[in-house]
Structure 1
């Protein structure tokens, strides 16, 4: 006669597991135990799978290859996302406007244009943004960092779009366009030069 299955219960969240080692593995979520340490940078991980992925950042190993173009990736889910480039599949559809996306991350960003959600907040001034990239750029205002420099004159900017706007001086694009419109391949088809932007055209 088979013994009845006795689940192993997590006392913190009530989740059940069929094997004790699965419960032990799960408990690290609650205890913050991180037994796997990288000997190169000393970063620690709770799970061996995450540790193995991290080690590839040091070794450069990319074991997952695309059968269509041969490009390799360090993580399987990145390869899965890449394959949509070849298949044209766009499984994430916006219920509001019907626009489709190949990647969930791009879909999530798009949905915020409808909901107005801005989950990334500046800890210094409280301003919120819909994309993490915008918050990162904004933080440079507070830090004074200006990583984008003009190769022609050396002038530095905190945001890439300000450098792109400034480059119109050197390319001559601004001079050939009406005073209020700048057409470039790097910006949107019609970029309005507002008074606040004119400082970058000097």
Structure 2
């Protein structure tokens, strides 16, 4: 007899569930009352059903009596083995009723549904940000704590998430798995490819709400907004001058340090600005067509620096 033909005359008066036996109904009602009469002698955890306690004890004993006949992997409970078998068969019985997505586990479908209903049950206790996934909350909390548990075994750099470490390791390996289908250029991160694609489509995903200017990057929009807010978060520790961009501060600091990183390969003359070196090179090459470009670059670079300098009081 098939299980779905068995009569279920014992109905729960608190929900729509029904059961074939009085004992099954009794166990079910414990989920409503919160009663957990079965306690683990090792760690004190309590359970509403004896079978749940039996499975839990295997966490302590390490017992995994359910084995996969395909690959030999072992599991502590039969349901875990059943889910695992689907990795071999490709079966995905849990289908989304809104989109074509299908999943091998019911839990995965429940998580997926949050992309449709906007449910975000995991909340940060520090800043109240909400997340659809528990691991997303755990990753977010590390921004507050500064915890970076994933370290690179090549250079020692640490990261808050495993995916960030995986992307970083490509700096050492040179791997660039994300390729542009238009021009063939490759990138180490999917996000970098996404930004690159905008150079082909002309799309500028980040728009200024004040003047409508479009930017390729969120960081570029944040820098642009300072032209409206007049915010200058990068102060010089020597003279107090403040700048809207870190790059402008770095150039300004050379007026104090005397650093001249741009060196002429012909006469060894050195300069603090790249544009100054370009202008200087004309003394060796002659007045080429770069004259206007050099002047324009120099003018632009100087304007960016002096724009950020504090204005003198009248």
Displacement, 1:135? Answer: 0.7
What value does the CA root-mean-square deviation take over the aligned residues? 3.8
Alignment: residue pair count: 195
State yes or no: 1:162 paired with 2:248. Answer: yes
State yes or no: 1:40 paired with 2:126. Answer: yes
For the Cα contact (< 8 Å) 1:180–1:194, is it kept in 2? no
Q: 1:160-199, aligned counterparts within 5 Å?
A: 160-167=246-253, 169-170=255-256, 171=258, 181-183=275-277, 192-194=297-299, 197-198=302-303
Q: Distance in 2 between matches of 1:14 and 1:73?
A: 35
In structure 1, the partner of 2:107 is: 21
Q: 1:139 aligns with which of 194, 212, 225?
A: 225
More helix by share: 2
Structure (1 or 2) with the larger CA radius of gyration:
2
Q: Distance in 2 between matches of 1:165 and 1:196?
A: 9
Q: Distance in 2 between matches of 1:16 and 1:126?
A: 40
Structure 2: gaps (5+ residues):
4-90, 263-269, 279-293, 310-314
State yes or no: 1:128 paired with 2:128. Answer: no
For the Cα contact (< 8 Å) 2:92–2:102, is it kept in 1? no
SS in 1 for 2:209: coil
Residues 1:144 and 1:115: Cα distance change in structure 2 (over 3 Å): same
In structure 2, the partner of 1:187 is: none
Q: 1:101 aligns with which of 159, 171, 187?
A: 187
Q: Distance in 2 between matches of 1:182 and 1:2?
A: 86
Residues 1:69 and 1:9: Cα distance change in structure 2 (over 3 Å): same
SS in 1 for 2:219: helix
- The higher-RCO structure (CA 8 Å, 6+ apart) is 1
Structure 1: gaps (5+ residues):
185-189
Displacement, 1:19? Answer: 4.5
- Per-residue Cα deviation, 1:146-198 (whole angstroms, up to 9, x for no partner): 11222332222222333344445443859x75x993349xxxxx792126834
Q: Distance in 1 between matches of 2:152 and 2:186?
A: 23
